[in-house]
Amino acid sequence: MIYMKLELCVREKVNEATEIMQHLYPMVYSPEDILSNMFRVCKSANIPEYLKMEYIKEIGNCHVRVVEGVASLLLLSGLIARLCLKQKNLFLR
């Protein structure tokens, strides 16, 4: 599921990726678990290297916020939106 979510982010499909996040969040997974799994999957995912580095940076920033105590579905949904925008923003530079 995490790999599929990252693939949807690469294809800029925000709604589908957010649906997966909304499915994972109420389960027994904590936001820390979701983010650490996203980090692990992202490192080995078959996506371009420049995009992988940007994704790892965003996941790390979100993980810092979760550790500081801001663990919410809104934060994780915002992460998905930022990941989906990364590819578009990188090509506009």
Domains in the chain with CATH codes: 2-92 (1.20.272.10)
Cα separation, 11 vs 29, whole angstroms: 25
Residue 45 carries which DSSP code? S
Q: What is the pTM of this model?
A: 0.88
Give yes or no for residue 89 having a pLDDT over 90: no
Give yes or no for residue 87 having a pLDDT over 90: no
* Tokens linked to 63: 């993980």
Confidence class for position 92, pLDDT limits 50, 70, 90: low
Give yes or no for residue 18 having a pLDDT over 60: yes
pLDDT tens sequence across 47-74: 889 999 999 999 999 999 999 998 899 9
Mean pLDDT over each residue of the chain, to the nearest integer: 89
CA distances from 46 to 13, 27, 31 (A): 17, 27, 24
